């Protein structure tokens, strides 16, 4: 019996600075016969994320091999009762049209009536879970508190802003990469103030937007954003550090440390970094809290969806340029 052919993307050269299309190659691969305990998944949606650029450096992903990432798919062939044919699953074998998985490396997706499947990669996936964990477990956000969110128009940022509003935020401030994105944060996503960080010195813009100071900073950027936030935080403020998009393109030459870093001591601030993979037990909390708000329309799943496997590299390069609003997702198949 002939086996189906899958398509995959390989990294064929390591980027120096920003990644380019020439560093990727589309290849065809024969799908192997399944062993006992395996299932074949046709991938339907794939996530592309800024952290992936870091994995492309030496010591990260292998060259000339399929890449990884969060993926949703449908089981089309199975030799395990745990992953029956037709089931929708989450796994991390992305950048390919088909993947062979085991129950240890894939889990069945819950089906929530009225909630699109793609939401499992945005507000109900690692993106939304990062926002939830950063707010509730790391920052221990409380009703009435003020918060600044950097890269607020991205996937994690749009989720964090909306969750903060539902958690009773007193004031929500965001930074974004354009005036249009900043306006959308205020006009459609419940932010009280937002600004284009290119417009003026960041510390000045933050001081204008949060003149009474801040209780919490949700950091997706690092660098000058972290410095400005330290300056604006009140005594005993908290920083939940989720990402550092300012340095992913060149980890060997990261931005200088904040010049006011010692204010963390002077103000008795708490700065804590976190990886969402260490908090997967929080997923049921997120579902219980967020699904009713998705159904009611109180939360908008901000997604930029790119159609077609042929455009997966373009989608990744786009997210590194800030071409997305909300979560960047590639739609691979119906």
Domains of the chain by residue range: 5-121+302-331, 126-277
CA 196, distance to chain mean position in Å, is 20
Rounded Cα distance, 255 and 245, in Å: 11
Q: Where are the beta strands (DSSP E) in the chain?
A: 5-11, 24-30, 39-47, 71-78, 88-91, 98-101, 106-108, 146-149, 171-176, 193-196, 214-219, 233-241, 270-273, 303-307, 327-331
Is the CATH number of domain 5-121+302-331 3.90.180.10?
A: yes
Please write the tens of the pLDDT for every residue from 280-312: 999 999 999 999 999 999 999 999 999 999 999
pLDDT given for residue 249 in this prediction: 63
Please write the tens of the pLDDT for every residue from 38-97: 999 999 999 999 999 999 999 999 999 989 999 999 999 999 999 999 999 999 999 999
How far is residue 211 from each of residues 146, 207, 229, 255, 259, measured CA to CA in Å?
Answer: 11, 5, 12, 26, 21
Within the chain, residue ranges assigned H as helices are 51-55, 126-133, 155-166, 179-188, 202-209, 223-232, 263-266, 283-296, 312-321
Domain 126-277, CATH number (from 3.40.50.300, 3.40.50.720, 3.10.129.10, 3.30.565.10):
3.40.50.720
pLDDT given for residue 66 in this prediction: 87
Rounded Cα distance, 283 and 40, in Å: 25
Record the pTM: 0.91
| Mean confidence (pLDDT) of the chain | 94
Please write the tens of the pLDDT for every residue from 190-238: 999 999 999 878 999 999 999 999 999 999 999 999 999 999 999 999 9
Beta bridge partners of 71: 46, 91
pLDDT given for residue 252 in this prediction: 64
Rounded Cα distance, 313 and 9, in Å: 8
């Amino acid at each position: 019996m002939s086996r189906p052919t899958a398509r995959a993307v390989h990294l064929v050269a390591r980027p120096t600075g920003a990644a380019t299309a020439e560093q990727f190659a589309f290849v065809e691969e024969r799908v192997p016969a399944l062993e006992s305990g395996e299932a074949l998944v046709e991938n339907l949606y794939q996530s592309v994320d800024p952290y992936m650029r870091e994995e492309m450096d030496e010591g990260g992903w292998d060259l000339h091999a399929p890449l990884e990432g969060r993926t949703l798919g449908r089981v089309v062939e199975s030799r395990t009762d745990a992953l029956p044919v037709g089931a929708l699953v989450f796994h991390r074998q992305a950048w390919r049209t088909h993947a062979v998985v085991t129950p240890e490396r894939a889990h069945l997706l819950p089906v929530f009536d009225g909630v699109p499947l793609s939401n499992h990669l945005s507000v109900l996936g690692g993106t939304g879970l990062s926002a939830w964990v950063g707010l509730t477990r790391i920052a221990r956000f409380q009703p009435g508190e003020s918060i600044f969110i950097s890269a607020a128009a991205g996937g994690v940022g749009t989720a964090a802003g909306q969750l903060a509003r539902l958690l009773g935020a007193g004031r929500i401030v965001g930074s974004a990469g354009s005036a249009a994105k900043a306006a959308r944060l205020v006009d459609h996503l419940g932010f009280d103030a937002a600004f284009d960080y290119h417009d003026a010195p960041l510390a000045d813009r933050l001081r204008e937007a949060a003149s009474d100071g801040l209780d919490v900073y949700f950091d997706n950027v690092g660098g000058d954003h972290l410095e400005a936030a330290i300056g604006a935080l009140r005594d005993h403020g908290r920083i939940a550090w989720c990402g550092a998009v300012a340095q992913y393109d060149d980890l060997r030459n990261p931005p200088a440390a904040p010049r006011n870093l010692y204010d963390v001591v002077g103000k008795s601030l708490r700065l804590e970094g976190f990886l969402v993979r260490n908090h997967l037990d929080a997923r049921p909390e997120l579902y219980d809290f967020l699904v009713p708000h998705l159904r009611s329309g109180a939360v908008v799943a901000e997604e930029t969806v790119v159609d077609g496997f042929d455009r997966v590299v373009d989608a990744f390069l786009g997210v590194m340029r800030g071409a997305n609003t909300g979560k960047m997702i590639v739609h691979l198949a119906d």
